């Protein structure tokens, strides 16, 4: 049976409206993005990969620490200039044994995404920082669509491979010395 064009168009639109795309959108300034990231970290059982421009949000850092204590494998790639910033938590996390790389390719590492147990991804303009929650106009999208998650995992793997552990350790060593000098001059 062939349906009239108008009926089949309405039927198609009706079916599309029922499809769940597996994404939720949040905005700041507010605690919404921060809360979604913390919930994702706290729910992770096996692995977290994150490529973030900057990280200093206390709640996010604390949730990373809890995840590490639970035995979750965590890899973080971040921007080298942001990692050297006064409020950055990168050196702290590195000293605690987190697997962190700072970028050595491309001009800046401007991604802001995380993948949690290969079942959830978060991406958006939201920097994983206190100002992003407190005062910046930012957004994040939480995805559960497998093809989107897979694309983020693939991209993370590519970035992790080209930003070598050796160069990251060298740069983190320089940052740590700089942080220690700043601390000594503040005393």
Looking at residue 5, its pLDDT comes to: 47
Binned at pLDDT 50, 70 and 90, residue 16 comes out as very low
Residue 179 has pLDDT above 90, yes or no: no
Residue whose C-alpha is closest to residue 87's, from 54, 53, 41, 134: 54
Tens-place pLDDT, residues 93-123: 999 999 999 998 889 999 999 999 999 999 9
Alpha helical stretches, state H, 23-144: 32-43, 58-69, 80-83, 90-95, 130-134
pLDDT tens, position by position, 75-92: 999 999 999 998 999 999
CA–CA distance, 100 with 86 (Å, rounded to integer): 18
**Per-residue confidence at 34, pLDDT binned at 50, 70, 90?**
very high
C-alpha–C-alpha distance, residues 100 and 54, integer Å: 12
Question: 20: pLDDT confidence band, cut at 50, 70 and 90?
Answer: low
d(CA 15, CA 117): 30
pLDDT value at residue 12: 40
Contacts of 103 (CB under 8 A, 6+ apart): 77, 78, 79, 80, 109, 159, 163
In 3D space, the residue among 43, 97, 91 whose CA is nearest the CA of residue 75 turns out to be 97
Strand, helix or coil at 70?
coil
d(C-alpha 172, C-alpha 147), whole Å = 34
DSSP single-letter state for residue 6:
H
Query: Per residue in 27-65, is it b (16+ CB within 10 Å) or e — as a string?
Result: ebeeebbbebbbebbeebeeebbbbbbbbbbebbbebbb
- Confidence band of 30 (pLDDT split at 50, 70, 90): very high
Show the tokens assigned to 33.
Answer: 């993005």
Q: 21-186 adopts what CATH topology? A: Endonuclease; Chain A (3.30.870)
Delimit the domains of the chain by residue range.
21-186
Q: At residue 43, does pLDDT exceed 60?
A: yes
């Amino acid at each position: 049976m062939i349906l009239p064009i108008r009926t089949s168009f309405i039927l198609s639109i009706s079916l599309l409206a029922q499809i769940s795309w597996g994404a939720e959108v949040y905005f700041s300034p507010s605690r919404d993005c921060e809360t979604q990231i913390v919930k994702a970290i706290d729910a992770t059982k096996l692995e977290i990969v994150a490529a973030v421009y900057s990280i200093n949000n206390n709640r996010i850092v604390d949730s990373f620490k809890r995840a590490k204590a639970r035995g979750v494998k965590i890899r973080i790639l971040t921007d080298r200039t942001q990692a050297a910033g006064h409020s950055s938590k990168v050196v702290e996390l590195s000293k605690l044994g987190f697997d962190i790389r700072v970028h050595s390719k491309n001009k800046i590492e401007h991604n802001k995404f995380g993948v949690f147990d290969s079942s959830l991804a978060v991406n958006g303009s939201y920097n994983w920082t206190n100002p992003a929650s407190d005062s910046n106009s930012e957004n994040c999208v939480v995805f559960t669509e497998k093809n989107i998650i897979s694309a983020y995992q693939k991209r993370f793997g590519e970035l992790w491979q080209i930003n070598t552990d050796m160069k990251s350790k060298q740069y983190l060593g320089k940052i740590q010395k700089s942080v220690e000098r700043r601390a000594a001059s503040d005393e």
